[in-house]
Amino acid sequence: MTGKVWLVGAGPGDVGLFTLKGKRVLEEAQVVVYDSLVGDGVLAMIPKSARLINVGKRAGHHLMKQEMINQVLLEEAQKGYRVVRLKGGDPFLFGRGGEELELLCEHGIPYEVVPGVTSCIAVPAYNGIPVTHRDYCSSVHVITGHKKAGQSYNIDFEALVRTKGTLVFLMGVTALEDICNNLMAAGMDPSVPAAILQQGTTAGQKRIVATVGTLKEEVDRQGILTPAIIVVGGVCEVADKFAWYEKLPLAGCKVVVTRPKELISRMAMQLRRQGAEVLELPGIALSPVEDLTQVENCLEKLETYQWIAFTSPSGVKIFFELLKKSGKDLRALGNIKIAAIGKGTKKELEERGLYPDLLPEIFDGASLGRKMAEVCEENAHILIPRAAIGNKEIIQELSVRKDLVIDDVATYDTRYETQDLIDEAGAFERGEIDYAVFTSASTVRGFVNALPKLDYSLVKAVCIGKQTCGEAKKYGMKTYTAREASIDSLVELVIELAGQEKK
């Protein structure tokens, strides 16, 4: 059986710029052939079931030559696999996508091309530079700035100057001086505005605006990292006026979120809205317990309970999955009252049309247990469906009421997750990650399990509550605790910390 190849553009770095079609195709991939310019956020979306082939393409450094990449795509497709060739930016804009299709065409391999948001448009936009503006220009030209060592450019610089349009040079950082000198030699006024834009759309974004005559000098003075693009033209002078990204509260911050995968999206979305680059790397995964005997017994006698207490959003999600599996629906809850530990759990219940009868003022197990002990009817029968490794605080507080009958039932197990795709430890060691956000003690343990050799003193741990904070402190992390145990409060704390560091 013949497989199929998709050439997928991953965009310039911000995972929010990855297309919906690209995401769908990637989720169905069996083999992913990726290069070094794909953003960490997109890499984190690759399914665990996919086999990974790193070709490491970057200017001046290739783990695999282009001819070998072409051959790999052919061979994997011939084995019958769904192959995604994941490329930074757009596959047909200096991405050598056309070359990769040639061999597939020769052998009759089916393929599709999924365009990506290209850095030559997106990166200037994130820096307040419109590549076209009728007050400045009526055209934009994209040029590769890369050339082989010792060779001159095969570019008609005089023609470029005559266009009077915006010029965008990709992969030209090492040749910046040559590019500027060639433009001036071709008749460009040295006073024409020019900019170099580093790692655009990511937390590493940086902008240097000068002129064609002074840009090299400014780069030498201020420093620049790759990847970066060069923009030449009058539109560069509006960069400071139109700049918007750096005005966001979390612009320049890279945050690791460690929640279980199915719970990450809301927190990640809130952080991204504030400008953060979010790396979703779940430290734990949740699944229903293997032995469901106790759970099934409780579901069979639901009508005997006066209260159900949910201690996490995951507890809600898995309980109702198991309820559905047993052939029952919401009507089985009858007149049972519901207690929720906090806002996240409350929200998960509300999405199912249920509104908690009880929510403690402080969102932790002890407070929930204390509050329930105060309000529960005499001889009340209470069901607590939760994690097998749940802490005992709620049980301890409820135990002051000797008349209460408590069924503390494990509905889901927690297992640690690891990944080898992204060098998370190296990113902490290089100072590239500003904060790690933890929503439970188990997410801290999962993080530590995934990075056993990391110097944890390098980690700024933003924690949802005192237990989570205590777990992070055990490993020497620098800890910060949210005012209340909620996602909103965690995000507010990250914004507060980032603001303090920017002062």
Say which of 4, 14, 48, 57 is annotated catalytic: 57
Catalytic annotation on 57?
yes
Say which of 14, 35, 90, 364 is annotated catalytic: 35
Q: Is the bond preceding 227 in cis, omega lying within 30 degrees of 0? A: yes
Cα 393 from Cα 155, distance rounded (Å): 71
Cα 29 from Cα 59, distance rounded (Å): 27
> Is 236 in contact with 136 (CB distance < 8 Å)?
no
3 state SS of 121: helix
Write the single-letter amino acid at 271.
Answer: L
> Is 116 in contact with 8 (CB distance < 8 Å)?
yes
Q: Looking up tokens 């909103």, which residue turns up?
A: 488
Structure tokens at 477: 């992390």
Catalytic annotation on 423?
no
Q: What is the DSSP string of 177-191?
A: HHHHHHHHHTT--TT
Q: Between the CA of residue 496 and those of 64, 94, 148, 361, 411, what are the distances in Å? A: 44, 41, 47, 23, 37
Q: Between the CA of residue 217 and those of 184, 194, 196, 277, 335, what are the distances in Å? A: 15, 12, 12, 30, 74
Residues 6+ apart with CB under 8 A from 42: 10, 11, 15, 18, 26, 86
Cα 179 from Cα 196, distance rounded (Å): 12
Cα 14 from Cα 29, distance rounded (Å): 21
Phi, psi (rounded to 5 degrees) for 326? -80, -5
Residue 265 CB: number of other CB atoms within 10 A? Answer: 12
Structure tokens at 400: 């002051």
Cα 246 from Cα 269, distance rounded (Å): 18
Write the single-letter amino acid at 484.
Answer: E
Q: Looking up tokens 């290089």, which residue turns up?
A: 430
Cα 425 from Cα 428, distance rounded (Å): 5
Residues known to be catalytic: 35, 57
